[in-house]
Amino acid sequence: MNICNHGVYFATDQSVPKGVMIQVHLKMPREVVGDDVAEWCFTGRVAHVEPLGAASDKSGVGVQFLYYEVPRASF
């Protein structure tokens, strides 16, 4: 998996069509966010899908982030 502030790229054996909207849930480490956060929810659009070789049933999927939600701390 590769992740940056604009999107994420990952391998999957699931069929994911280009253009579809998906949600990606990531647990962000304390070193990145400075606090304990359970899970961030990113919503994005599948920008590209490519086969990962003839010997693999997996595809590489690139998702462009559109927005994200950070859970509020519970008091």
CA angle centred on 52, ends 15 and 11, rounded to 5°: 55
> Per DSSP, what are the bridge partners of residue 44?
22, 65
- Region 3-7: what's the mean pLDDT? 90
Taking the whole predicted model, whether its pTM rises above 0.75 is answered as yes
Q: What percentage of the chain reaches a pLDDT higher than 70?
A: 93
**Cα distance between residue 61 and residue 38, in whole Å:** 25
**Cα distance between residue 16 and residue 13, in whole Å:** 9
pLDDT digits (tens, 9 = 90+) for 13-36: 999 999 999 999 988 777 777 777
Question: Six-digit token pair at 37?
Answer: 């956060």
